[in-house]
Amino acid sequence: MGQYKDIQVNIERRIGLITIHRPDRMNALAKSTFSELVDASLMLDADPDVRVVIFTGSGERAFSAGVDLKELNDDGRMVHPMGGPSRNLNEIVLEMTKPTIAAINGVAAGGGCELALACDIRIASSNARIGLPEAKVGMGANFGSAVLPRLILRGAALEMLFTGELLCAQDAYRVGLINHVIEPGEILEYAHELAIRIADNAPLSTQRMKAVATKGIDLPIAAALRLSVGPDLYNSEDRTEGARAFIEKRKPHFIGR
């Protein structure tokens, strides 16, 4: 596992945990942070021993306050989010083959919100706030503008984008942006419990379900049903083991093949 400056990476019980660790900057995303998050995401997605990946921030103030505007101001010119020599972090997270969870432990603004949007499941502490304030600072919310209207009602998404205002956790839950609202200090434990429940299932099943749900979302149902994406679980050892364990009334032992 690589050594990182801005993030921490841990693997336990088949769960990969990526923590943005810049508490003095409210876990703002510097260029180095983006680079490290890309590296860690690709690494965990390729690791056969990891079945679920959790993203969170250090402390209880912020998941991530977004792009580090101080660094951006010092640098001056900004590259288009989909330009430059490196792949976009949010695109990578969105395309990870394994289930991902954003444990939003505080403010998730701008780029921090977009990272959460790229994850499959979002849970938030009751004191969290989430949104895209880019219109207030002359930015574009490129990823959020494309993804948010696919996750919640278009009108609610556009209101968030146009006003740049952050939603409290309860309002984010009300519009369907958040799956669960958890008390502060308990969110990481809850995220781990949820991740374990997912990781205990057949990994080929969850990976195929994610692939079909993601790539078939804009297709007619007839076309989505015929997608051939993700691993072939129907002829896998895990499918045989699952059926045998059900008949024998025991917990299955899935090996991911």
Tokens 């395309």 appear where?
95
Rounded to the nearest 5 percent, the helix, strand and coil shares of the chain are 45, 15, 40
Residue-by-residue pLDDT tens, the chain, 257 positions: 558 999 999 999 999 999 999 999 999 999 999 999 999 999 999 999 999 999 999 988 999 998 877 765 555 565 555 555 567 899 999 999 999 999 999 999 999 999 999 999 999 999 999 999 999 988 888 999 999 999 999 999 999 999 999 999 999 999 999 999 999 999 999 999 999 999 999 999 999 999 999 999 889 999 988 888 888 888 898 898 888 889 989 998 888 88
* pLDDT value of residue 97: 96
The answer to whether 241 is a known catalytic residue is no
Burial 100-119 (b: 16+ CB within 10 A, else e): bbbbbbbbbbbbbbbbbbbb
Contact 40, 11 (CB under 8 A): no
As to burial, measured by CB atoms within 10 angstroms (0-12 exposed, 13-18 middle, 19+ buried), residue 39 is middle
Question: Residue 169 and residue 106: Cα distance in Å, rounded?
Answer: 9
The answer to whether 193 is a known catalytic residue is no
User: Tell me, what DSSP letter sits at residue 165?
Assistant: P
| Domain with residues 7-199, CATH architecture | Alpha-Beta Complex (3.90)
| Active-site annotation holder among 12, 60, 71, 114 | 114
Question: Residue 65 and residue 141: Cα distance in Å, rounded?
Answer: 14
Region class of 77: left (phi > 0), else alpha (psi between -120 and 50), else beta: beta
Tokens 């288009």 appear where?
80
Which residues does residue 160 pair with via DSSP β-bridges, in sequence order? none
CA atoms within 13 A on the CB side of 197: 6
List, in order, residues 6 or more apart from 170 with CB less than 8 Å away: 126, 181
Question: What's the predicted TM-score (pTM) here?
Answer: 0.91
* pLDDT value of residue 72: 59
Q: In the numeric block, which tokens belong to residue 241?
A: 């083991």
| Active-site annotation holder among 134, 165, 193, 241 | 134
How many residues are listed for the chain in this entry?
Answer: 257
User: Contacts for 225-230 with beta carbons within 8 Å, 24 or more apart?
Assistant: 230/97, 230/204
